[in-house]
Amino acid sequence: MKISNIEFPDKPLFLAPMEDVTDPAFRLLCKRFGADMLYTEFVSSEALIRDVNRTKQKLTIYPQERPIAIQIYGHDPASMADAARIAAEAQPDIIDINFGCPVKKVAGKGAGAGLLRDLPRMLKITKDMVNAVKIPVTVKTRLGWDDDSKIIVDLAEQLQDCGIRALTIHGRTRAQLYKGDADWSLIGEVKNNQRMHIPIIGNGDVTSAERALEYFNRYGVDAVMIGRGSIGKPWIFSEIKHYFKTGEHKQMLSFNEQKAILKEHIIASVKWLDVPESEALTLSESITNSELWDKRLKGIIHGRRHLAASPVFKGIPNFKDTRIAMLRAETLNDLFAIIDSVEEPVDSILLF
């Protein structure tokens, strides 16, 4: 499968763009475990044009992340085109347009999935962004606004006519948000439309190797994108790829190995958010500054979402108080002491 001149292996796995999740610290972990394509967090076109530092920081790309896309959202065609030009200066492999974010603060302002109710504006934005940059432009969207307006089959053709090089479809409407089951049947209908010639990437409810393989085989998509299934579990990509290759489940990482990866991610988040750029080491190296270990750090707070969602600690009896303490910890010393104190749950069979 190719997007423009970017080649991917058979059955490629993409990491979905997620706000407050897919920063470099998390992306590099997912890449290490086999993600074939990475996406940045959502980049606001208006904030990028205003030169907001936090937004500019989202354009940071490390060489080992490639191929990678910068995803942009907004509602004004001129601003979106200008933002695409600015983002292109960061030299991503792809510019991706966010027509799928369902949250009220985005969709309610006519951006993201909100543009599913204003197709002329959506298509204008797409054309203008395609014409604004020389690198490939792709789109991520949903089935439609609600159950009464699942327009994706016709919309896909219109977006293709605008010049995009690939289309990612999340199998829910905006009204569903992230509730209910993703409907891949319409994703398959788009893929099997003989008038479509660009790659179609499916997204939604990819939480296991069996399900990923089913989506490839049943719906014929060119790639599968994994979002929430990767939060707190970046090794999901290696598990799925092993299953594709062997038909068997990969031996699970040990409990201590999983905890070590979570800790590595927290350290990388701290380095990304708390260490001044002039002092920062590469994200894969340890923090040796002893002062940081007892300091309240933004990277720890940022990493709480991954800790809360991680399956590592699921099923541990009487874990509620420990989880609360872990999610309230503000220093590396405190947090890692809590994580280290958690013991692997004893298999219930051994209790008898």
- 3-state SS, residue 202: strand
What's the CA gap between 159 and 167, in Å, rounded?
8
Q: Residue 254, class by beta-carbon neighbours within 10 Å (0-12 exposed, 13-18 middle, 19+ buried)?
A: exposed
Residue range 187-195: mean pLDDT, rounded:
97
Residue 347, pLDDT score: 56
Using CA atoms, how far residue 116 sits from 44, 75, 127, 148, 160, in Å, is: 18, 11, 16, 12, 16
Residue 351, pLDDT score: 35
Residue 348, pLDDT score: 34
**Distance from chain centroid for Cα 334:** 29
CA nearest neighbour of 58 among 12, 26, 103, 104: 26
Which tens digits make up the pLDDT trace of 228-285?
Answer: 999 999 999 999 999 999 999 998 899 999 999 999 999 999 988 888 664 555 666 6
Residue range 68-97: mean pLDDT, rounded:
98
Catalytically active residues, by annotation? 101
Residue range 115-142: mean pLDDT, rounded:
98
What HEC string does 208-235 produce? CHHHHHHHHHHHCCCEEEECHHHCCCCC
Residue 2, pLDDT score: 95
Residue 275, pLDDT score: 80
Buried b (16+ CB within 10 A) or exposed e, 304-322: bbbbebbebbeebeeeeee
What's the CA gap between 162 and 172, in Å, rounded?
23
Residue range 303-322: mean pLDDT, rounded:
89
Residue 3, pLDDT score: 98
Which residues, in sequence order, are CB contacts of 249 under 8 Å at separation 6+? 209, 239, 242, 243
Residue range 27-56: mean pLDDT, rounded:
96
Cβ atoms 60, 268 nearer than 8 A: no
Q: Residue 196, class by beta-carbon neighbours within 10 Å (0-12 exposed, 13-18 middle, 19+ buried)?
A: middle
Q: Compute the mean pLDDT over every residue in the chain, rounded to the nearest whole number.
A: 92
Check pLDDT > 90 for residue 315: no
Which tens digits make up the pLDDT trace of 99-125?
Answer: 999 999 999 999 999 999 999 999 999
What's the CA gap between 312 and 259, in Å, rounded?
7
Q: Which residue has the higher pLDDT, 298 or 288?
A: 298
> pLDDT > 90: what percent of the chain?
84
Residue range 178-192: mean pLDDT, rounded:
95
- 3-state SS, residue 334: helix
Residue 234, pLDDT score: 97
Buried b (16+ CB within 10 A) or exposed e, 216-253: beebebbbbbbbbbbbbbbbbbbbbbbbbeeeeeeeeb
Residue 317, pLDDT score: 86
Residue 252, pLDDT score: 86
Using CA atoms, how far residue 22 sits from 38, 108, 228, 303, 350, in Å, is: 8, 23, 11, 11, 39
* Segment of 167-176, 283-292, 297-306 carrying the highest mean pLDDT: 167-176
Residue 284, pLDDT score: 61
Q: Which residue intervals of the chain are DSSP H helices? A: 24-32, 45-49, 53-57, 77-88, 104-107, 119-132, 152-161, 185-191, 209-219, 236-246, 255-273, 298-309, 320-328, 332-341
Check pLDDT > 50 for residue 350: no
Q: Which residue type is seen at 339?
A: I
What's the CA gap between 309 and 237, in Å, rounded?
16
Residue range 131-146: mean pLDDT, rounded:
97
Q: What is the pTM of this model?
A: 0.93
Check pLDDT > 90 for residue 171: yes
Q: H-helix or E-strand containing 70?
A: strand 68-73
Which tens digits make up the pLDDT trace of 192-228?
Answer: 999 999 999 999 999 999 999 999 999 999 999 999 9
Residue 344, pLDDT score: 83
What's the CA gap between 277 and 3, in Å, rounded?
33
Cβ atoms 57, 20 nearer than 8 A: no
